Structure 1
Amino acid sequence: MSDVISCDICVIGGGSGGLSVAAGASQMGAKVVLVEKGKMGGDCLNYGCVPSKALLAAGHAAQHVREAAKFGIQTEIKSIDHKAVHDHVHEVIGGIEPHDSVERFEGLGVTVIQAAARFTGPQEIEAGDQRIQAKRFVISTGSRARIPDLGGLSDVDYFTNETLFDLQEKPDHLLILGGGPIGMEMAQAHRQLGCDVTVLDRSSIMPKDDPELVDIIRSRFVEEGITLKEGVAVQKVVKTDGGITLITEDDEFHGSHLLVATGRQVNVDGLNLEAANVSYSDKGIQVDARLRTSNKKIFAIGDVAGGFQFTHKAGYDAGIVIRNALFWLPAKADYSALPWVTYTNPELAHVGMDEEAARTKHGDIRILRWPFSENDRARAERKTTGQIKVVTTKKGLILGASIVGPSAGELIQVWVLALSQKMKIGAMASIIAPYPTLSEVSKRAAGSFYTPSLFSEKTKKIVRFLLRFS
């Protein structure tokens, strides 16, 4: 074991959140050590957000060709080169890798150690042949695919998000266990790239999203030829000559390949958190509002801290930690305006409370809707599937918004701002939206809050009275 390395902050995990802490703290003058046992960039860059969106983009491109006839353009897909699609995905990853590389962070003054970390005490870890002592530690080890305890699963070859993007040939029939965001995105990407796809979920697809808007996604998937089996519990997995069979109580489903997308499991194995007096469970490391663990010298951020599991959440957490650790500011995490997006076509985006949660907390609420079929830009581009749904109090305080439709992930941002600033619906109704843009759906939905009173008999009487004196 070499000499002890002493530093101000030691970050364990080189994913989105950990890299943000390391870069920010180092550039602000702190002595930083970053420990990462796997690939720099973590799950998001290598196995998650980046490759999945790149694969989706390829699928959507193929679908655009199929649907070109509605614009009067006659064309067809002669073939899909799945090796070239694979190369496209990895070229995208390769283009981002330098930003997350060891070389870049060492250039920022960060000491990078590529080894597994293990706590040996409340303020010390071992990593490879190094010992690191720090004033503060930040655990940002993320999560991985949760593998269900399913009979026969260990006897077959299957994919998770960590291995799926290495596939270079076409799966003839992809079976997907799990109808959450990962399962749904990969289902549509592979279907649009010419594969047969069956999704099986023991409950309903996309359970964390508004059921009214999920219905729109469900209908689109069925139209594209994706088989959805909801409320189905797989009891056994069997390897066959032709591939894989999933057996339920009432049926059997045959496919050539299997993707397991049944949730996430936090990465705490091997950290020896007990030695650091850090409390945790299978749901994550326990943290307070300042993201401090039971050992106040140690923070946990991102997926490993439980709760929402998004890259942008980890990045937000990084800012909270920097304010606490470097500036001694009692900054607290507030996820009330944290958005999320599922990047299917159409996309589904959400922020704040949904209808059910709002009714539970506030009772009397207002629901505002506007369909993309009433938006001129959507009509021009023939992307009229979807709607916006906004939840407010009776007095117009914005509680939440969900959008299913083209570019929903971009359109949700204005509602994120509105929620974070605790705006009322009048602020959104009064904006000037450029014409023709998809963003008009937000203004139209907001304006509909005033429709019942604006065009009421009472208003008409007032107008007629005033006109008598004009």
Structure 2
Amino acid sequence: MAQGDGIDLCIIGAGPAGIAAAERAVARGLRVVLVEAGEFGGVAHNWGAQPAQALAAAAERAHQIRTARDFGLGTDEPRINFARINARIRAMIQEASPTVSPEHLIAQRIETVSGRARFAGPSTIDVGGRSIKASHFLIATGTRPVVPDIPGLDGVPFFTPETIFEVTRRPSHLIVVGAGATGLALAQSHLRLGAKVTLVEMLEPLAGEDPELVDIVLRRMRAEGLELHTHTGIVSVAGGDDQDIVLDIKAGPHEDRIVGSHLLFATGREPDFQGLGLELARVAMQGRRPELGRFGRTANRRIFIVGDAAGHEGVHAARHSAELAVDAITGSVSKEGLVPRIVHTSPAIARVGMTEAQARAKLKDRFEIVRIALAQTDAARARAQPHGQVKIIIDSAGRVLGAGVVGPTAPELVPVFALAIARKMTPSELGGLVAPYPSFAQIIPLAAAEYARDHPGAAPAGWRRLLKRLLP
């Protein structure tokens, strides 16, 4: 174990952000120590994103069996064994574990330390009574679930998104509290695996996402059988007969009662700085959160906070923020990339750049929207997956500012729009994309053609396009 002076970067937390930072730092020639209090790989690998995706894959397969009649195939209700699904998830995590193991990291010249870190001063931490001093620190401790204080909750069993994978028998009726990205995705997975699912949300589902895109997903989930209560608060929770769980809910003046077998809280997460001693590290706080500058730098210029702990949602966003912080520490010139937001429902939502609401606030009416339904592609027709659309935000100069995609391959399509935004491309230039046939990517040239119909002069000749790129 590394101790004392000579350490360039000490990273606290070996989740996706911490490991990405460590790998980037050793590639830059830094001496790195990586400290982890729990399982290497973090929540995302062991209890979060990875097992959730495995559960969703099983649910998707069950849904395909159930809907095989759409293709003219005979079908029976799929036989679902939660114990086997759970075993497959654990096996998948075990199979991927070597890529995040201490042995793998040590082979890359990353020194690892197991234990809980606590700052002893601005440039030193203690781990299990041992002192580690470094030139810089990077905090990548992630987040932990937030469970609201509800009367009666301490008397009933409940799950969080990190513990729901412990269920080895199919819930007869799962009650999910919280209709954010995690709550909706887990609700849909259990719904497709044969459970009755009721979802309760105090506000709007997927608040902060484009309502037009969200509506497509919610209509699909309701069609699959989801019972959704919005603008609904929970008055109390209690145990019922036969170990049932009873929720008393209220929407405006209307009161109701939900009786279920299992209860899942997906009501958000908060940064996990517990026990770190940030006050001893001279990290300035705004309430319970640290003040962060560019690339996650704190008031103590030795210390950076990245990943979920800094508010970056999604594994891809966490890794990107960590790599940017390492570049800032090493003095490398680094440009912040456009980070897509993904909601892993079916159909999925992916968006990047400016939303319609942001465009309206910033540009008033100096922008326009191009919409194309996924059903217009031959791939959607062939695969009986017509639910979705592309929505592109375009400024008055004809440049792509943002895009949202709803559909089965939305996460794969959205990087094309991220590149278009970064390169200040126009829909006409996007129209030059030759999409494989058949594929959902066909929707991109279809959107460009839709824009060209209303802007016949939008496709400049080759020399004009080149001149336009060269001029400021």
Given the two structures, how large is their TM-score scaled by the length of structure 1? 0.92
Equivalent position of 1:138 in the other structure: 138
Equivalent position of 1:301 in the other structure: 306
Shift of 1:398: 1.0
The alignment of Structure 1 onto Structure 2 pairs a total of residues equal to 451
Q: CA separation in 1, counterparts of 2:215 and 2:378?
A: 23
Per-residue CA shift, 1:255-284, capped at 9, x if unaligned?
100110011110011000011111234664
Q: CA separation in 2, counterparts of 1:169 and 1:18?
A: 34
Shift of 1:455: 10
Equivalent position of 2:106 in the other structure: 106
Equivalent position of 1:351 in the other structure: 352
Q: CA separation in 2, counterparts of 1:160 and 1:218?
A: 22
Equivalent position of 2:275 in the other structure: 270
Mapping 1:68-467, distance limit 5 Å: 68-242=68-242, 243-249=244-250, 250-281=255-286, 284-306=289-311, 308-326=312-330, 328-329=331-332, 331=334, 334=336, 337-363=338-364, 364-454=366-456
Shift of 1:330: 5.8
Shift of 1:421: 2.4
Q: 1:119 to 1:430 in 2, by over 3 A?
A: same
RMSD over aligned CA atoms reads: 1.8
Q: What is the aligned-residue identity percentage?
A: 35
Contact 2:295–2:321 at 8 Å: present in 1 too? no
- AA at the equivalent of 1:290: F
Equivalent position of 1:465 in the other structure: none
Contact 2:66–2:78 at 8 Å: present in 1 too? no
Shift of 1:394: 2.0
Shift of 1:409: 1.1
- SS in structure 1 of the partner of residue 77 of structure 2: coil
Per-residue CA shift, 1:378-421, capped at 9, x if unaligned?
10111111111111112211111111112111111101111222
Per-residue CA shift, 1:197-234, capped at 9, x if unaligned?
00000011111211111111111111111101011011
Q: CA separation in 2, counterparts of 1:164 and 1:6?
A: 43
Contact 1:244–1:254 at 8 Å: present in 2 too? yes
Contact 2:65–2:78 at 8 Å: present in 1 too? no
Contact 1:286–1:305 at 8 Å: present in 2 too? no
Per-residue CA shift, 1:88-139, capped at 9, x if unaligned?
1112211211100011111222221111100000000001131100001000
Shift of 1:34: 0.7
Contact 1:145–1:263 at 8 Å: present in 2 too? yes
Structure 1 gaps, min length 5: 457-470
Q: CA separation in 2, counterparts of 1:373 and 1:126?
A: 58
Q: CA separation in 2, counterparts of 1:271 and 1:132?
A: 14
Contact 2:354–2:403 at 8 Å: present in 1 too? yes
- SS in structure 1 of the partner of residue 279 of structure 2: helix
Q: CA separation in 1, counterparts of 2:5 and 2:115?
A: 15
Contact 1:4–1:130 at 8 Å: present in 2 too? no
Contact 2:86–2:168 at 8 Å: present in 1 too? yes
Q: CA separation in 1, counterparts of 2:141 and 2:306?
A: 8
Given the two structures, how large is their TM-score scaled by the length of structure 2? 0.92
Contact 2:427–2:447 at 8 Å: present in 1 too? no
Q: CA separation in 2, counterparts of 1:167 and 1:357?
A: 41
- AA at the equivalent of 1:318: A
- AA at the equivalent of 1:112: T
Shift of 1:447: 2.3
Moved more, 357-366 or 50-59: 357-366
Contact 2:4–2:133 at 8 Å: present in 1 too? yes
- AA at the equivalent of 2:268: G
Q: CA separation in 2, counterparts of 1:190 and 1:439?
A: 30
Contact 1:349–1:403 at 8 Å: present in 2 too? yes
Moved more, 21-30 or 126-135: 21-30
- SS in structure 2 of the partner of residue 448 of structure 1: helix
Per-residue CA shift, 1:38-88, capped at 9, x if unaligned?
111111111211000100000010000011111111021352111111011
Contact 1:301–1:314 at 8 Å: present in 2 too? yes
- AA at the equivalent of 1:347: A
Q: 1:228 to 1:209 in 2, by over 3 A?
A: same
Contact 2:118–2:127 at 8 Å: present in 1 too? yes
Contact 2:3–2:133 at 8 Å: present in 1 too? no
- AA at the equivalent of 1:299: F
